[in-house]
Amino acid sequence: MTDSRPDPSPLARALGRIPCGLFLATVETPDGPVGFVASFVQQVGFEPPTVALAVGKARGPLEALRSSGRFALSVLDKPSSGIMGGFFKPLPEGQTPFDGHELHRTGSGSTVFASALAWLDCTVSGEHETGDHVVVFGVVTEGVLQREGDPSVHLRSNGLGY
Ligand X SMILES: Cc1cc2nc3c(=O)[nH]c(=O)nc-3n(C[C@H](O)[C@H](O)[C@H](O)COP(=O)(O)O)c2cc1C
Q: Given the rule CB under 6 A, which residues bind ligand X? A: 36-40, 54-56, 59, 88, 154, 162
Please identify, using beta-carbon distances, which residue of 2 and 17 lies nearer to ligand X.
17
Please state the closest distance from residue 54 (CB atom) to ligand X, in A. 5
Question: What letter represents residue 26's amino acid?
Answer: T
**Closest CB to ligand X: residue number:** 40
Sheet of strand 41-45, all strands in order from the earlier edge strand to the far edge: 32-38, 23-29, 70-75, 118-130, 133-145, 50-56, 41-45
C-alpha angle 37/50/121, rounded to 5°?
Answer: 55
Per-residue H/E/C for 31-56:
CEEEEEEECCEEEEECCCCEEEEEEE
Please state the closest distance from residue 90 (CB atom) to ligand X, in A. 9
Please state the closest distance from residue 154 (CB atom) to ligand X, in A. 6
Please identify, using beta-carbon distances, which residue of 6 and 90 lies nearer to ligand X.
90
Please identify, using beta-carbon distances, which residue of 46 and 88 lies nearer to ligand X.
88
Please identify, using beta-carbon distances, which residue of 46 and 89 lies nearer to ligand X.
89
User: Nearest CA to 70 among 37, 28, 128?
Assistant: 28
Please state the closest distance from residue 22 (CB atom) to ligand X, in A. 6
Q: Is 84 helix (H, G, I), strand (E, B) or coil?
A: helix
Please identify, using beta-carbon distances, which residue of 19 and 162 lies nearer to ligand X.
162
Please state the closest distance from residue 59 (CB atom) to ligand X, in A. 4
